[in-house]
Amino acid sequence: MSERTVQLVVSYDGTNYAGWQIQNDQPTIQESIETALLSITGEKIRVTGSGRTDSGVHAIGQVVSFRTESKLSADVLRRALNAELPADIVVRSSRNAASHFNAIDCAIKKRYRYLVQEGRVNDVFSRQYAWFVKKELDFDAMQAAAQHLIGEHDFASFEAAGSERVSTVRHVYDLEVLKSERHEFDKIAIEVEANGFLYNMVRIIVGTLVEVGKGKRPPEWVAEVLAAKDRTIGGMTAPAHGLYLLRVDYPESCWLD
């Protein structure tokens, strides 16, 4: 039987999972999807995710690709997966892709969102979905600081130790600091879009911007952190539970053989 490539867009609440990638003794998103596919198709299918999100990280638009011999249409697969998957993982859409499509290799841009809850009182309903910073942050200073990171730079100062990458140069196309009010609790959303990300890069950017927001550093300090190419110079790594993989972009050529 001939195989075809299927692409999924998946949302998940990462609270109860040890991240995307299969672990020996902990539940993961990848394992959940592969188990569901085995039940539906009878095939042991290995799925590829566009990003290996860490334990506790969430996704609104994680892209997944896999090869299958199943004759079920892409939409029937979507509905069957949603019937099999736990309630905290949902397949938003599915489509047939080009045979060469790969969720990692074909990606050209990714966008992440990080939620910070500022103020004196913690929003109990957001405790697993936003980083509570017990202080009102200087929103304008954070916006000014973010501008120093837009463009192509060496982001070595924003990479967690122990990661091995050939190059630490990345192009950040957009970095927005957005403020919204939800009931009596204020949220700050930091959205970062780039052609690729180093390990914990978004969370370190957020931790660095929060240092500025707290008034501990001026906005110009972020440019100094960037130039230093030294992880010890910047802010803390923000907690995982405030991070969301928002979107992954691909060229049109990925949809056609």
Residues 28 and 12: beta-carbon distance below 8 Å: no
Q: What is the DSSP letter of 242?
A: G
With CA atoms as reference, report the closest residue to 54 among 149, 133, 163, 146: 163
CA angle 90, 114, 187 (to 5 degrees): 105
Active site residue 186: no
Encode burial over 211-229: b for 16+ CB neighbours within 10 A, e otherwise.
Answer: bbbbeebebebbeebbeee
112 known member of a binding site = yes
Catalytic-role residue among 13, 25, 54, 123? 54
Contact 44, 11 (CB under 8 A): no
Beta bridge partners of 48: 65
Decide: helix, strand or coil at residue 118.
Answer: strand
Residue ranges of the annotated binding site for substrate are 112
Q: Which residues are annotated as a binding site?
A: 112
Catalytic residue positions? 54
